[in-house]
């Protein structure tokens, strides 16, 4: 008799109702949850509620997935902004080294001993070596 009841059940349902029923069954099979009974085992009056619950649960899962994707993008954006700040700071330091070095070269060309004496060649050399050996290879070159 169960088979007759199931045949009768499916015989008078629209394609959309059967699709929602199929989706609800697949959803429960995939997630292995048993907190709801399968729609075709419920009272006929509860069938619409079961389909609506299945649709709502699918929408909730979709929203959870979208929320996780959004959180991942927010995290990625924060990482990229921080990386941009670090790169900007490194670039500013490099520009300062170049500007200071150019002042030193000009002072040598003009025989400006006062400016040349104020210039710390050893510190400049150490700064240049540090920039050349950092993660980016210095001056934008990759190692």
The set of residues, in sequence order, having a beta carbon less than 8 Å from that of 104 and lying 6+ positions away, is 115, 116, 119, 121, 124
Residue 3 pLDDT exceeds 70: no
CA dihedral 115, 119, 125, 127 (to 10 degrees): -110
Instruction: Say what the pTM is.
Output: 0.47
When pLDDT is cut at 50, 70 and 90, the band that residue 88 belongs to is: very high
Dig out the tokens for 133 from the structure: 């050996």
Q: What is the largest CA-CA distance in the chain?
A: 110
Instruction: Tell me the pLDDT tens digit for each residue of 92-121.
Output: 988 988 888 888 889 889 998 888 888 888
Instruction: Tell me the pLDDT tens digit for each residue of 49-60.
Output: 777 788 888 888
């Amino acid at each position: 008799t169960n088979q007759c009841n199931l045949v009768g059940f499916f015989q008078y349902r629209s394609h959309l109702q059967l699709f929602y029923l199929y989706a609800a069954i697949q959803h429960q099979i995939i997630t292995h949850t048993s907190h709801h009974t399968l729609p075709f085992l419920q009272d006929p009056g509860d069938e619409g509620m079961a389909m609506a619950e299945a649709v709502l649960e699918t929408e909730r899962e979709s929203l959870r997935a979208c929320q996780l994707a959004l959180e991942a993008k927010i995290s990625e954006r924060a990482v990229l902004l921080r990386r941009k700040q670090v790169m900007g700071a490194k670039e500013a330091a490099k520009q300062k080294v170049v500007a200071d070095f150019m002042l030193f070269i000009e002072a040598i060309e003009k025989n400006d001993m006062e400016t040349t004496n104020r210039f710390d060649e050893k510190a400049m050399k150490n700064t240049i070596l540090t920039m050349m050996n950092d993660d980016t290879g210095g001056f934008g070159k990759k190692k």
